Amino acid sequence: MEAELQAILAQVERDLPEIQTPAAFEQYRATISGPNGSFTAVTKTIGKLPPAERPTAGKLINQYKTRLQELYDAKFAQLEELELQKQIGPAVDVTLPSPDPQPGSTHLITQVREEICRVMRKIGFTVADGPEIETEYYCFDALNTPADHPARDAQDTYYMDPEARIGNVSRKGTERYLLRTHTSSVQIRTMLSEKPPLRILCPGRCFRRDTADATHSANFHQIEALYVDRGVTVTDLKADLDYLFKSLLGNEAQIRFRPHYFGYTEPSFEVDFKASHLGKVGSDWIEIMGCGMVDPTVLEEVGLDPNEWSGYAFGLGIERIAMTLYGVDDIRYLYQNDLRLLRQFA
């Protein structure tokens, strides 16, 4: 019996190198180890041996079975590797330069954000940060926006499950968390953690429960500015916004203030701009942002004496500016990452 087993093993050792595909390998293996295979036939003869010889024969068969299996495994691994190579092609030389001729570029929203920050940095503003998951205190209460204000409606933004507490940022401990509806919350965080004079900018993401259409998105970006010092007046606000818009749009750009209401500023204004010299924005006034003088109630809330300190604040929508300036007529284009749009601003 051993001679037969030995012969089969030798045969397999000779045949395997010739086999090129997994299918051919399976076919070949069946002729040896399949139900009608030559090796299987030898193993069946064990039943015809005298009982005393069977244990030894069984051991021998197992030894050959193991050696055969090793040969199969090695061959199979080699074939798998070959198949993989066929699929991925020749080995990649990672030391070669990238074949991609298109370098990446910043998104239009990033470009507009950076440009506004760059302009404002020149007049002393630095960038401050705040969390996107906010408490009602920072987002509303401290900004003089009481509980019955429509902005507090649960339908207006995304409120967290009250059980899901995130860190220990809540002042009162029992507050609800929400996705911030504006970056104005950073005004409060900054005034509580730093002493004036303050000049901060806060670019960031905001959320509202809006149904997406050409001008609405549940997720958008704002830049907030806050300037608190002794003797800050509306003149500073107007002069700085004039400077910002002229820097962004050219010296011909004009702005105008219209009275408005925001809980956290008094007086409050909406700002329109006109830049007729830029053909693409037309010759009409375009409403662009909100601003005002920090309400004394807000200053008191953060422990500042309104008789000593005053300030201005403004908040603008980055998408709004980007769309107006670059003629993007649907806000959704800004989030679809379609290269045809992105490349126009690369």
Residues at the interface with ligand DAH (CB under 6 A)? 182, 184, 224, 262, 265, 290-292, 313-315
Residue 268 Cβ vs ligand DAH, minimum distance, rounded to whole Å: 6
Give the nearer residue to ligand DAH in terms of CB position, either 60 or 151.
Answer: 151
Residue 197 Cβ vs ligand DAH, minimum distance, rounded to whole Å: 17
Q: Could you please report the per-residue DSSP string of 19-57?
A: --SHHHHHHHHHHHHSTT-HHHHHHHGGGGS-GGGHHHH
The 3-state DSSP class for residue 139 equals helix
In sequence order, the 6+-apart residues with CB closer than 8 A to the CB of 274 are: 253, 254, 255, 256, 283, 284, 285, 286
Residue 151 Cβ vs ligand DAH, minimum distance, rounded to whole Å: 9
C-alpha distances in angstroms, 227 versus 151, 186, 187, 191, 260?
A: 24, 12, 9, 10, 20
Give the nearer residue to ligand DAH in terms of CB position, either 109 or 291.
Answer: 291
Rg (CA), the chain: 37
Residue 220 Cβ vs ligand DAH, minimum distance, rounded to whole Å: 10
Torsion sign, CA atoms 243, 249, 253, 257 = negative
Give the nearer residue to ligand DAH in terms of CB position, either 138 or 314.
Answer: 314
Q: Are 215 and 295 in contact (CB under 8 A)?
A: no
Give the nearer residue to ligand DAH in terms of CB position, either 75 or 189.
Answer: 189
Give the nearer residue to ligand DAH in terms of CB position, either 173 or 259.
Answer: 259
Q: How far apart are CA 205 and CA 133, in angstroms?
A: 10
Residue 298 Cβ vs ligand DAH, minimum distance, rounded to whole Å: 10
The distance from CA 169 to its chain's CA centroid, rounded to whole angstroms, is: 23
Q: How far apart are CA 216 and CA 209, in angstroms?
A: 10
Give the nearer residue to ligand DAH in terms of CB position, either 203 or 292.
Answer: 292
Q: How far apart are CA 122 and CA 113, in angstroms?
A: 15
Residue 259 Cβ vs ligand DAH, minimum distance, rounded to whole Å: 12
Residue 314 Cβ vs ligand DAH, minimum distance, rounded to whole Å: 5
Give the nearer residue to ligand DAH in terms of CB position, either 175 or 295.
Answer: 295
